Amino acid sequence: MGKMQCEQTLQGHKGRIWCVSWHPKGNAFASCGEDKTIRIWSMSGNNWTTKTILSDGHKRTIRDVAWSKCGQYLASASFDATTAIWSKTSGEFECNATLEGHENEVKSCSWSNSGSLLATCSRDKSVWIWEVTGDDEFECAAVLNAHSQDVKRVVWHPTKEVLASCSYDNTIKMFAENALDNDWECTATLAGHSSTVWAIDFDAPGDRLVSVSDDCSMKVWRGYAPGNQEGIATPDNETAWKCICTVSGEHSRTIYDVAWCKLSGLIATACGDDAIRVFKEDEETSTKNEPVFLLATSQDKAHMQDVNKVTWNPVQQHQLLSCSDDGTIKIWKYSE
């Protein structure tokens, strides 16, 4: 069994904290929440401290923040129906663009690996793809209306321009650009959860996806490309996604977030029962098409209220960030 040690508890935001996001270098992170502000944190000596507070970008709760892979840009998604783009071009963080178009709350934002595309999703049931057309200039490349309910999360594939989204309609969708007509389209629907899918994340190569739900289960899906060895049918010559593992009985309430560590392969979950759990793939019993994920550790009472987000440091192995309705951010160290 592994164990989790809390290295630091951070306060500063007023009210619930919705999201924490590591800078790609792993030496800073952004947080956002109900108080309509974004905080940028970095190390001062041995402690994490707030370096910047960005308070003039949004009129309502900020639900999500995401760094571009180059680390130059920060996107923030808000209940005010806008997504703001921040950069430090002048030495200080400034809001250089505000993306408008969603009808109501924007729930999530995500940068593609190349940094040339940004995806956003909303309670208005749509997923938008924005193209970076120049310095601080963004153009809507697609409005995708594949979901029938509130879309909770968008996540780009780690290497390809393939987008995954999950929704209150209990499904996960995959989107890609059609090479023939340059139109974005839904290439797969992953159905299996019996309630809202709150969060998704790819593994490091992008061959597998993990999802968590209001049905208290965690599922792992594998993509089977056309011509796969297993002989799994790939309609329309698109990658077919199949559920290859379901973990149930480990969470007692809604699972709000999941993070698949690109360095260690560990999966962390954030739950409405105030706990953080870490799962490890069992090397002895797992096979390619039937992996087994075992609970490595459960940090009960990780927070005083719902845990909203967990995210692994992209550079420093086994360091995990979490945030909660209790208004705190915690830095954890996982050890075997």
The yes-or-no verdict on residue 179 having pLDDT over 90 is: no
pLDDT at 65: 98
Domain of 174?
13-262
Cα–Cα nearest to 201, from 262, 115, 151: 262
The predicted structure's pLDDT at residue 136: 84
Torsion of CA 224, 288, 314, 118, to 10 degrees: 10
Does residue 268 form part of some domain? Answer: no
Q: In percent, how much of the chain has pLDDT > 90?
A: 96
Within a domain: 99 = yes
Mean predicted confidence (pLDDT) in 99-123:
98
Arithmetic mean of pLDDT over the chain: 97
- 88 pLDDT above the threshold of 90: no
Query: Would the pTM count as exceeding 0.85?
Result: yes
Would 323 be classed as within a structural domain? no
* 292 within a domain of the structure (yes/no): no
pLDDT value of position 4: 97
What CATH number is given to the structural domain containing 75? 2.130.10.10
Q: What is the pLDDT of residue 90?
A: 78
Q: How far apart are the C-alpha atoms of 316 and 50, rounded to whole Å?
A: 20
| pLDDT tens-digit map of 236-290 | 999 999 999 999 999 999 999 999 999 999 999 999 999 999 999 999 999 999 9
pLDDT at position 135: 79
Count of structural domains, the chain? 1
In a domain? residue 89 = yes
Residue 274 falls inside a structural domain:
no
- pLDDT, residue 331, reads 98
Q: Which two tokens stand for residue 45?
A: 């000596």
For residue 313, the model assigns a pLDDT of: 98
- In a domain, residue 5? The reply is no
Residue 134 pLDDT class (50, 70, 90 cuts): confident
CA–CA distances in Å: residue 19 to residues 204, 272, 288:
21, 15, 33
Q: Which region among 37-46, 83-92, 216-225 has the lowest average model confidence (pLDDT)?
A: 83-92
**CB contact at 8 A, 221 and 201:** no
| High-pLDDT (> 70) share of the chain, % | 100
pLDDT tier for residue 130 given thresholds of 50, 70 and 90:
very high
